[in-house]
Chains A and B, each alone.
Chain A
Amino acid sequence: MSIHVNHLTKRYGNFTALDDIELSIDDGELVALLGPSGCGKTTLLRSIAGMEFADSGSILLEGRDMTYEPIRHRQVGFVFQHYALFNHMSVFENVAYGLRVRPRAQRPAEAEIRRRVHELLELVQLDWLAKRFPPQLSGGQRQRIALARALAVEPRYLLLDEPFGALDANVRKELRRWLRRLHEELHVTSLFVTHDQEEAMEVASRIVVMNHGRIEQVGTPEEIYDEPHTPFVSSFIGNVNILRGAIREGAFHTGNWQIPLPKEAREIHHPEEQDAFIRPHDIEIVKDTAVPWRVRIQHIQPMGSSYHVEAVPIALNGDNGPHIENDLITIELTRQAYKALAIDTNDEVGIDIHHVHWFYDHATGTAAS
């Protein structure tokens, strides 16, 4: 069941929540809406659900214009961040709710409701809680019940608003995996909002990155990570070192550091301003003293499977070192690389830069060295 969003715009007074949004989601996809808080992702989700109505533009569900149709006619299942379970009803009645409120002619018989509810509770593996009340359940259990409740009406679309946002880290991890498996089983077109890039990468088959009411990029997790289209995407998805400088004579100059440009970008001349985006794992530490870019290690942070090294760049001659955000370069080393290097804080080492993302003002794509 496809979703098409055309030129959707919504304003709250002077604040533009959605700015000319264009988005297509195919039948059976599991898509993440990712962005910082206030970027419009929840407004977009609620507009698709029919809980908010846009100022202009349209929303097509399966090709039918549903822009101003109220939520109860859209056949969407909605899952809220804070569950929104009916606290005065048992778990069973919560899940049965969508069936019980149907017009008499479409309402299933009591035995059928019973069967369906237990089937759904088994699907979310909580059949044994049927007689409990929501306040007696844990957060993870509540959210699974909320999902079962949303699925009871056999929605064509499943919309989830920060579904795991209120849960603690372990439960969140478990539920993510579980949601992905559930989606593989049911294949209902699903759209979920998150501000957690890791969550989006782990669960979604496609990610929509939003910022300031606009879509920055749409793509698979790999595309978003490996080929970010904008500086925002690059810095929002994963960590990145941003070097401020300019492009002159086929090289990037930051302070007295020079990084050679890729071949296809040699003609570009940006003497004023150009940032270079470098992922922490695209930097290698070398002990060879001949390497021109030198840093002093300030802090080593073990992260379990990897090590994060924070280093202060050293100017070649004089005091004009590279201009970096926070004045620190972050380098990510694998366990093996770290053990092999045997480095310590205050060591002076060289760095080798393997990959840089460039975002040229006038270029549409990226040119990577």
Chain B
Amino acid sequence: MSQRKSMLPGFGLSLGITVFTVSLLVLIPLLALVTRSAELSLGGIWDTLADRRVLAAFRVSFSTAFAAAFLNIFMGLVVAWVLVRYPLPFKRFWDSLIDLPFALPTAVAGIVLTTLYSPNGWLGQFFADLGIRVAFTPLGITIALIFIGLPFVVRTVEPILQDLDRQQEEASTSLGASRWQTFRRVLLPPLIPAILTGFSLAFARGLGEYGSVIFIAGNMPMKSEIVPLLIVTKLEQYNYPGATVIALASLVVAFVMLLVINGLQHWTRKRTGRG
């Protein structure tokens, strides 16, 4: 076998570090999760997962995370657009504000949102007048997850938006396209891979989010109980195998969904000649 020298040195070393870190931080904990779950028999796993309360929690977690990530696509796109395209006053200030949900302790966010959206809170009272309950419902969970997930979409879309060639827009209008046609046919397609990345990051974060949700969720079993809370509940009852089974199931579902999104991304890239 011939040895080929790479332009970049240190391939062996960097691969070693990568494998070591990924193993230590991701693979080994996951393996522990799997082995711990294996303590239960298949029947036991089935009984744990088929529980109506568990299924309901899965439904709540996945639907709210999906809805929040989906809405964040639009909000994130608009925010990124405004930040990139318009000469805002105090632009750096607004720009740093976007990252705040990353930095804020999630419990603080949860408490603030709960206070605002509770039926007698500043914002909640208006919704209450309209007969809409926000806090302690899946709607409240979705709002918390939108707050948490927004920076993911903004920060992934922003650099792509910055790199877009303004002359392509001019070319589009010179060929007779309207503003909307230019947006849909020229601007949006190159953004789609970034939007999908932002979506999957926000979605994944939403699935795992705990701190900001448990306050506003109200945690009513069957209605507004999320999977992470259910896991914590099981742990508090010393039901470790039950907790790990739920965690593993949650992981598997999330992993499959992320895999699908990645595939979609690959497909859009390929379809547009960048594969």
Does A90 have its Cβ within 8 Å of any Cβ on chain B? Answer: yes
Q: Are A80 and B272 in contact (CB under 8 A)?
A: no
Q: Please tell me which one of the listed residues A72, A133, A153 contacts residue B272 in the complex, with CB atoms under 8 A apart.
A: A133
CA distance A136 to B272 in the complex (A): 11
Chain A contacts for B181, CB-based, 8 A: 101
| Alpha-carbon distance between A286 and B178 when the two chains are bound, in angstroms | 68
The distance in angstroms between the C-alpha atoms of A135 and B275, with both chains bound, is 11
- Contact with B171, one of A70, A78, A90 (Cβ below 8 angstroms): A78
Closest Cβ neighbor of B177 among chain A residues: A101
Q: Are B176 and A98 in contact (CB under 8 A)?
A: yes
Contact A102 B176 (CB under 8 A): yes
Residue from the list B172, B173, B177, B190 in contact with A88, Cβ < 8 A? B190
Q: Is the CB of A101 within 8 A of B273?
A: no
With contacts A87-B190, A101-B181 taken as known, whether A72 is within 8 angstroms of B176 at the C-beta atoms is yes
Chain A residue with minimal CB distance to B170?
A51
For A93, the closest partner residue in chain B by CB is B185
- In the complex, what distance in Å separates the CA atom of A166 from the CA atom of B49? 63
Q: Nearest Cβ in chain B — how far from A153, in angstroms?
A: 6
Return B106 CB to nearest CB of chain A, in Å.
37
Which residues of B sit under 8 angstroms from A77, Cβ to Cβ? 174
The B interface is mostly helix, strand or loop, or mixed, namely helix
A149 lies within 8 A of chain B by Cβ: yes
* Residue of B whose beta carbon sits closest to that of A146: B171
**Cα A149 to Cα B170 with chains together (Å):** 13
Taking CB atoms, residues of chain A closer than 8 Å to B92 are none
Which residues B151-201 have CB closer than 8 A to chain A? 165, 167-168, 170-178, 181, 185-186, 189-190
Q: Is the CB of B272 within 8 A of A84?
A: no
Are A135's CB and B274's CB within 8 A? yes
* Alpha-carbon distance between A316 and B84 when the two chains are bound, in angstroms: 67
Q: What's the Cα separation between A80 and B189 when bound, in Å? A: 21
- Size bracket, chain B contacts: 20 to 34
Shortest CB-to-CB span from B183 to chain A, Å, is 12
Once the chains bind, are A101 and B190 in contact (CB under 8 Å)?
Answer: no
Is there an interface contact between A98 and B273, defined as CB atoms closer than 8 Å? no
Contact in complex: A88, B189 (CB < 8 Å) = yes
* A-chain residues with CB within 8 Å of residue B170 when the two chains form the complex: 51, 71, 78, 80, 84
Q: State the CA gap A90–B181 with chains docked (Å).
A: 17
* A86 within 8 A of partner (CB): yes
- Cβ of B174 and Cβ of A76 under 8 Å apart? yes
A window 98-157: CB within 8 A of B: 98, 101-102, 132-136, 146, 149-150, 152-153
CA A132 – CA B271 in complex, angstroms? Answer: 11
Contact status A87-B177, CB under 8 Å: no
> Which 7 pairs of residues, A with B, have the shortest CB-CB distance?
A133-B273, A98-B175, A88-B272, A84-B167, A101-B177, A84-B171, A78-B174
Given A133-B272, A135-B274, A136-B273, A84-B165 contact (CB < 8 Å): yes
Question: A176 within 8 Å of B by Cβ?
Answer: no
Decide yes or no whether A97 CB sits under 8 A from chain B: yes
**Which B residues lie within 8 Å of A149 (CB)?**
171, 175
Task: Check B272–A97 contact: CB distance below 8 A.
Answer: no
List 30 A-B residue pairs with CB atoms under 8 Å apart, sorted by A's residue number: A51-B170, A70-B173, A71-B174, A72-B173, A72-B176, A72-B177, A78-B171, A80-B171, A84-B165, A84-B168, A84-B170, A85-B168, A85-B171, A86-B168, A86-B185, A88-B189, A88-B190, A88-B272, A97-B185, A101-B176, A101-B185, A133-B272, A133-B274, A136-B273, A146-B171, A149-B171, A150-B175, A152-B175, A153-B175, A153-B176
